[in-house]
Amino acid sequence: MEGPFIRVEDTGEVVPLRPEVTTIGRGRGVDVRLADPSVSRLHAEFVRRGPYLYVVDLGLSRNGTRVNGRPIARRVLDDGDVVSFGAARCRVGGVPREDFAPEVELRRAAAPELTRREVDVLTSLCRPALSDEAFVAPATAREIADDLVVTEAAVKQHLLRLYQKFRIPEGINRRTRLANEVVALGLVRPTPVVPPQRTAGPGESPPQTAGRRAS
């Protein structure tokens, strides 16, 4: 078989991967359907970019994705790697071997030049993914428009250009794939969350601030 493929360990089924994006999960609309209940309906994606293959966990499952037993968010794959989606395991084959670290080459090639407004749109898009909670979904075009005080049509035009710049092909969950790419590249970083100050109750002293000693 030419090109990258996966072998599902439970069934022995060999599945060739699509030229760009192959979705995997338990739902009916995915490219590779795994029946294990620990697998999310839309669990992860295999992405091919030139000679490279990487897997992206979409953050929609509590059980996550692992490569050779280690939890990952996004990982370039080598021939023979074992990728686990919950309890389901698949072995990767047909990936060209390289003598250098493909992660470095992929990361350098994947970061396009961005305008200030595009950075603002990406920051707003990824804000839900940068909390301590599990990645549920990125912001919608309407939410981004409200955040940036612009029209929804303008946001959609920016998103179309960003899909092109990051080479995110058309298909389901396109905003999620863009957000995963941006976060993985470190172009948008989490902002520290400042916990709210607790007001003192009756008979209590005000809370001590950092660097202040009680007298």
pTM over 0.85, yes/no: no
Is the pLDDT score of 42 beyond 80? yes
**Using CA atoms, how far apart are residues 139 and 122, in angstroms rounded to an integer?**
10
Does 49 have pLDDT greater than 80?
Answer: yes
Helix (H, G, I), strand (E, B) or coil at 6: strand
Q: Which residue has the higher pLDDT, 188 or 204?
A: 188
Instruction: Name the band, by pLDDT with cuts 50, 70 and 90, for residue 97.
Output: confident
Segment 65-79, tens digit of pLDDT: 999 988 888 889 999
**Quick one: average pLDDT of 97-123?**
68
In terms of Cα–Cα distance, which of 76, 31, 34, 84 is closest to 55? 76
Indicate whether 49 and 107 sit together in one domain: no
- Any idea of the CA torsion for 129, 132, 134, 140, to the nearest 10 degrees? -30
Q: Please, are residues 57 and 66 in contact by the beta-carbon 8 Å criterion?
A: no
Mean pLDDT rounded to a whole number for the chain = 80
pLDDT score of 73: 82
Total structural domains within the chain: 2
Last residue of a domain, one of 93, 124, 148: 93
Q: Rounded to whole angstroms, how far apart are CA atoms 164 and 121?
A: 15
- Shared domain for 40 and 83, answered yes or no, is yes
Domain of 49, in residue numbers: 5-93
**What are the helix and strand counts (H, E) for the chain?**
5, 11
Mean pLDDT of 166-175: 83
What whole-number percentage of the chain has pLDDT above 70? 76
CATH code of residue 142:
1.10.10.10
| Residues 10 and 37 grouped into a single domain | yes
Structural domain includes residue 10: yes
Cα(61)–Cα(45) distance, integer angstroms: 13
